[in-house]
Amino acid sequence: MKKKYQIFVSSTYEDLKDERDLVIKAILEMGHIPVGMEMFSAGDEQQWKLIQTQIDDCDYYVVISAFRYGSLDGNISYTEKEYDYASSLEIPVLGFIINEDAKWPASKVDKNAVKLEKLSLFKTKIQNKLVSYWSDKNDLYGKVSISLMKQFNTNPRTGWVKSTEQTGPEVLKEISRLSNENAELRKNITELKNFIDEDEKEEFEKTLDTLKHNKRTLSFFYTDSTKWENGDVEFSLFEIFNLLAPELMIENSTKYCSQYLGIMLDPEKKERQVRREWPTPRNTVRKILADFNVLDIIQPSSKKHSVKDENEYWSLTIEGKKLFKEVRREILNQNLEYGLNEIPDDETIEEKSEKKKKKN
């Protein structure tokens, strides 16, 4: 929305007529609205009220001072009177004072000592706000343009806009409708998110229940043996998943999973040692991993490996990572319930609790 600013130009008149014309031209060239005292009859009380009204409507106020104080209204000049009124309204004031050494016609210089004193005091007053110094009308023209542009950017005002660009009742009505629609959509999104969260939670609980109520038997091959042993030892998929999940955060092979389960679940680990290569049956481990894959908690790894590498690699899915958090949370909560510290991965909660009872 393009704004047009109304700018009041204040100065003595006869001595600065050419300078005022250039300043007004500069404002018009920038696409804004200049307002000046030449449009009114100075000294007329009704005209002063009109000037006040114009200043009220202005966005910026420009005052130009040379070597004349100007016509008086009592003990104050009309220029200073306008300046004081604009300042009282806190309108941004831009002052432009002529350099003392500028070439200037003697006919345009006050000779009256009283007026010269008032002029000096007025210039001091102007210098309390933003002020620039000029030497001739062309210099003034450029400095007014630059100063106004800076003000437009750093201190934008209300300005004026075309009525066609203003926000009308129809636009306000549409904004209100869109706001209500947005609020309703946000409400729906929140409800949908809650529904999805509940649905996801239900799915997690279902998967956890499946893991807990499905058991697998593992056999173990020891370095001092020639056959599989301890084939009647059962482990829940919940226990196995809790062991393997941290190892599958990035990826690991089926062979590694067999080795890890052999080391961690070996019932005779304190007395005997399982062999390094496939300490637990390859087919059994692959079936367990396949079950995890069916439950969508692990997946074949997408990382590239050497062509010579014939191992199968697995990694947790996003759902698997979320599920592992739930598994760990449940274990930690159970630890708290039983008053236990972290349970070793090769020992169940019940076994740990039973040991604690015997100890006590």
pLDDT for 171: 67
Per-residue pLDDT tens over the stretch 176-221 = 888 888 888 887 777 666 655 677 778 888 888 899 999 999 999 9
Kindly tell me the burial class for residue 183, based on how many C-beta atoms sit within 10 Å of its own C-beta (0-12, 13-18, 19 or more): exposed
CA distance 37 to 206: 85
CA distance 276 to 259: 7
pLDDT for 302: 86
Contact 31, 4 (CB under 8 A): yes
This prediction's pTM: 0.48
Kindly tell me the burial class for residue 126, based on how many C-beta atoms sit within 10 Å of its own C-beta (0-12, 13-18, 19 or more): buried
Contact 337, 360 (CB under 8 A): no
pLDDT exceeds 60 at position 346:
no
Per-residue pLDDT tens over the stretch 120-131 = 999 999 999 889
The structural domains of the chain, ordered by start, are 6-165 (3.40.50.450), 214-359 (1.10.10.10)
Select from 210, 215, 213 the least CA-distant residue to 296. Answer: 210
Contact 317, 289 (CB under 8 A): no
